[in-house]
Amino acid sequence: MGDELLYLNGRVMPLAKGRVPVEDRGFQLGDGVYEVVKVMNGRGVWLEDHLDRLHASLGAIGMPQALQGHHLEEVLPSLVEEGKVVSGFLYVQVTRGVHPRDFALPERVEPTVLAYARSMPVDAPDLIEAGAVLHPVEDVRWGRCDIKSIGLLAAVMAKDEAMRAGADEALFVGSDGLVREGGSANVFAVLGGVLRTHPADRHILNGITRQHLIELAVGAGIEVREKAFTLTELLSEDGAEMFLASTLRDVLPVVRVGNRTVSYGQAGAVTLELAQRFRRLQAVAAGLQPPGA
């Protein structure tokens, strides 16, 4: 592992030396977006997909040209290589820039663009297959969860509540009773042999892992419906399965929601099959020999 490096507005420096002005709108107003990219085998996995989503988030907040001249498709691999990050993640953040504090959108302000790579250990397979416990919370977030906003206070509070309840992750449930997503993960369930997940609308972030999993499932002959489900549906069906999907945790089985057991308290067969297929696909994307190949 090398020294952690920061890309900040066109310059590369040690991460510890990075400085952003007090009146950066990201700091004062949460006016910005971000991306997290998994690093495996010293490579950003599905980097192009993440950059496409970053551009989509920037377009949604009126900053379609924010990355012009930054060439992140070259900068990010360089941060990984120079920082000697073999396993870990890339973090990218773009804010509207520095301007005297005002809610009105400023004109002709240079955006703040930063990125860094960090090493992180890989979860052991037995830890993953042991499964996660979810803590349901009311979804009180803003109505544009499809934008990967840096304004994450609602998720921070929900995750803290989950931790205090002895759970691994928060589970956002809408006022209509429909399961939306986790604190930082998409949610899938297997109900009646059908793989279900909330549609990619404004209530959830359309995860990169989510997208690849849906493609995998369809290719494996598993019926997929992008249709939300309720906790009542999930908990009333014997043998129903549930799992989380995210960039850094991949496919994580769920064995309990609140005080109710899911999938007999263990990872389900469909979940394990998809997890295995996903690991193979991800390995190929990272330039590795797929497990079991």
Give CA–CA dist 182/15, Å, rounded: 30
Give CA–CA dist 41/119, Å, rounded: 11
Single-letter amino acid, residue 232: T
Q: What are phi and psi of 191, to 5 degrees?
A: -125, 120
Catalytic, out of 17, 38, 84, 148:
148
Half-sphere exposure of 39 (CA within 13 A, CB side): 23
| DSSP string of 26-51, one letter each residue | HHHH--EEEEEEEEETTEETTHHHHH
Nearest CA among 96, 101, 121, 89 for reference residue 4: 89
Structure-token pair, residue 225: 């419906």
Give CA–CA dist 44/178, Å, rounded: 33
Q: Is 148 designated active site?
A: yes
Which residue numbers are catalytic? 148
